[in-house]
């Protein structure tokens, strides 16, 4: 066997860990395209996760058996009981797929087998032993365009990172699931940024997802995303529950995704975060074949959170589709097809949050205005939020979020009856630029948006009041008078100008004098420039 090279020292903080892994992973780029590169890295992250979780469970079983008085031989006979792993939500990992085996062969073996060969074999083994992962994991590590030396170095780095105990800022004892989940999300974000517009197909910025999650508060029940991308909505929902309640076991996840590679990413993402989910037997078009036809009516979704692709012109349209309760969407734009599909999935008390292009709030082309009017008159629109520009690195299109509710009466969703009203929030002035191309929402920004909505529904702290320039609760009659346009800026008005104590007449006179003084100074400087130019020899 090829002699092992000492592994590099482990990064000491989570930021260092993620940055180091990204730099190392970035070395693999070369002849492979971005999508394959993404599959290589995320597949490796997933394999490290399942192996770490398996090892953790294995040691727990060993300790339990020892405490019960079993000797080493008896433990060896019992420790490989598959049900002891799968029954605890841990994938069974065959011996040649475990990380310590891969680490020992990171430089290949004496027979000439490369680390890529061993990783592909490991992927096969994990899928074979865990049918729910069948067809999910990538087998692309032993191809000619994958640099085997650098792949081995990356395996070494993952090995040295000690995921099972490495903690944020040196705090020990965090679970491998949480750590690798952070790394996975970090890589998703980096890949989305690197791929530009194509990155938007699988990644929704965390701040946007959090707006949906913090407003809807999906604490229990069925959570559905008809265009789930890499599963970010589900992950943020689980994080919200864990943060506020400590347990994410009360939600059932349902999703569908059109893109094969993205569907695989979502399956791995859910597994890494310890979330069971039904994403259908394979990828597929939500309009052409709904993989969750029974998710409707009384058995419908309690929460829908979605970021559909904007303004799709070519989609599987059928005029006879039962989902078009409020009108047949136009051929050249699927926005209202997504909205109506989502409404068809809501349970009697269900709520939804849907990211849309701003044009959806006021468009009248192709019958969209009539569809919007029908939805508003059905009293299904709960809140409209206009978001800042540049939140999506992949597109410059301004976006908004539609929030729907099947029942706006007082009850479980809030103590205030909001039937016949819609809350408009204009959040376009929130956020901060993280670089020249991208804006982000802060925790305070998200809290302001969500807190306003919760106060309006009577389930937050404090009472709701309209705030000029930011929020306004409009009755349906007022919306009808505006031809059913749902643009928040139309309703919230302009923010109040702070009174500085100077009478308006005096302020206008003062500003006029200052302006004339600037004009005089400009004229004086122009004469000086002309005089100097006249002295220049031509």
Would 1 be classed as within a structural domain? no
Of 272, 268, 266, the residue nearest 180 (C-alpha):
272
CA dist., res. 228 & res. 301, Å (int): 14
What pLDDT, in 10s, does the model give residues 252-307?
Answer: 999 999 988 889 888 888 887 778 789 998 999 999 999 999 999 999 999 999 99
Of 175, 194, 213, the residue that ends a domain is: 194
Place of tokens 């309006």: 456
Residues 282 and 414 in one domain: yes
Q: CA–CA separation, 207 vs 274, rounded Å?
A: 22
Decide if 262 contacts 201 (C-beta within 8 A).
yes
User: Do 98 and 138 lie in a common domain?
Assistant: yes
From CA 444, how far away is CA 453, in angstroms rounded? 14
- Residue that is last in its domain, among 194, 224, 241: 194
Q: Determine, yes or no, domain membership for 538.
A: no
Residue 2 lies in a domain: no
Same domain, 476 and 516: no
Q: Is residue 217 domain-resident?
A: yes
Looking up residue 69, the CATH number of its domain turns out to be: 1.20.1260.30
- Burial label for 118, CB within 10 Å (0-12, 13-18, 19+), is buried
**438 lies in the same domain as 360:** yes
Residue 288 lies in a domain: yes
Q: Is residue 405 located within the same domain as residue 506? A: no
C-alpha to C-alpha distance for 4 and 398, rounded to whole angstroms: 53
Closest alpha carbon to 309 in 215, 405, 403, 203: 203
Based on the domain organization, do 178 and 255 belong to the same domain? no
pLDDT digits (tens, 9 = 90+) for 158-201: 876 655 444 333 333 345 556 677 777 788 777 777 765 555 55
449 lies in which domain range?
202-492
Contact, 17 vs 64, CB < 8 A?
no
Is the domain of 170 the same as that of 286?
no
Q: Does residue 140 sit in the same domain as residue 220?
A: no
Residue 496 has pLDDT above 70, yes or no: no
Q: Does residue 307 lie within any of the structural domains?
A: yes
Dihedral in degrees, nearest 10, Cα atoms 4, 41, 187, 134: -130
In terms of domains, do 217 and 144 share one?
no
- Domain membership flag for residue 9: no
134 and 226 belong to one structural domain: no
**Are 476 and 421 a contacting pair, CB within 8 Å?**
yes
Whole-number Å distance between alpha carbons of 413 and 425: 19
Distance (Å, rounded) from C-alpha 386 to C-alpha 403?
A: 11
Q: Both 448 and 323 in a single domain?
A: yes
Tell me: the pLDDT tens digits for 195-253? 655 555 567 888 899 999 999 999 889 999 999 988 888 888 888 887 777 665 688 99
Whole-prediction pTM: 0.81
Residues 221 and 342 in one domain: yes
> How many domains does the chain fold into?
3
């Amino acid at each position: 066997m090829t002699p092992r090279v000492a592994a590099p020292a482990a990064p000491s903080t989570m930021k260092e860990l993620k940055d180091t892994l990204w730099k190392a992973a970035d070395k693999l780029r070369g002849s492979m395209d971005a999508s394959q590169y993404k599959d290589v890295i995320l597949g490796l992250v997933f394999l490290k996760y399942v192996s770490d979780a398996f090892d953790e469970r294995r040691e727990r079983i060993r300790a339990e058996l020892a405490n019960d008085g079993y000797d080493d031989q008896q433990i060896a006979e019992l420790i490989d009981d598959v049900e002891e792993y799968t029954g605890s939500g841990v994938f069974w990992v065959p011996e040649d797929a475990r990380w310590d085996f891969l680490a020992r062969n990171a430089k290949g073996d004496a027979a000439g087998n490369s680390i890529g060969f061993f990783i592909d074999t490991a992927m096969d083994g994990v899928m074979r032993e865990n049918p729910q992962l069948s067809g999910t994991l990538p087998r692309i590590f032993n191809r000619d365009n994958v640099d085997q030396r650098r792949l081995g170095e990356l395996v070494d780095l993952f090995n040295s990172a000690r995921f099972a105990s490495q903690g944020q800022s040196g705090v020990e004892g965090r679970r491998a699931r949480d750590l690798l989940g952070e790394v996975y999300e970090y890589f998703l974000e980096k890949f989305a940024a690197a791929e530009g517009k194509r990155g938007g197909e699988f990644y929704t910025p965390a701040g946007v997802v959090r707006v949906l999650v913090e407003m809807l508060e999906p604490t229990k029940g069925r959570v559905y995303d008809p265009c789930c991308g890499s599963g970010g909505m589900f992950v943020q929902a689980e994080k919200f529950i864990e943060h506020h309640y400590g347990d994410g076991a009360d939600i059932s996840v349902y999703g569908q995704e059109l893109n094969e590679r993205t569907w695989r990413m979502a399956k791995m993402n859910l597994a890494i975060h310890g979330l069971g989910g039904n994403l259908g037997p394979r990828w597929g078009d939500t309009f052409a074949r709904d993989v969750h036809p029974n998710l409707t009516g009384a058995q419908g979704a309690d929460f829908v959170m979605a970021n559909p692709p904007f303004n799709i012109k070519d989609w599987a349209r059928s005029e006879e589709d039962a989902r078009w309760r409020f009108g047949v969407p136009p051929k050249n734009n699927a926005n209202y097809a997504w909205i109506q599909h989502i409404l068809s999935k809501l349970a009697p008390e269900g709520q939804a949050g849907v990211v849309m292009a701003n044009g959806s709030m006021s468009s009248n082309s192709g019958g969209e205005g009539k569809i919007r009017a029908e939805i508003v008159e059905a009293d299904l629109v709960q809140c409209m939020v206009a978001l800042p520009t540049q939140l999506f690195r992949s597109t410059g299109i301004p976006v908004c979020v539609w929030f729907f509710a099947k029942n706006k009466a007082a009850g479980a969703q809030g103590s205030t009856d909001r039937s016949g009203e819609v809350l408009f929030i204009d959040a376009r002035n929130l956020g901060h630029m993280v670089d020249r191309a991208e804006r982000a929402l802060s925790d305070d920004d998200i809290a302001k948006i969500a807190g306003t909505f919760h106060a309006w529904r009577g389930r937050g702290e404090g009472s709701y009041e309209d705030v000029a320039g930011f929020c306004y609760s409009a009755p349906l009659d007022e919306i009808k008078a505006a031809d059913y346009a749902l643009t928040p800026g139309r309703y919230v008005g302009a923010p109040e100008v702070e009174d500085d104590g100077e009478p308006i007449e005096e302020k206008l006179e003062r500003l006029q004098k200052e302006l004339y003084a600037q004009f005089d100074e400009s004229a004086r400087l122009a004469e000086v420039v002309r005089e100097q130019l006249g002295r220049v020899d031509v």
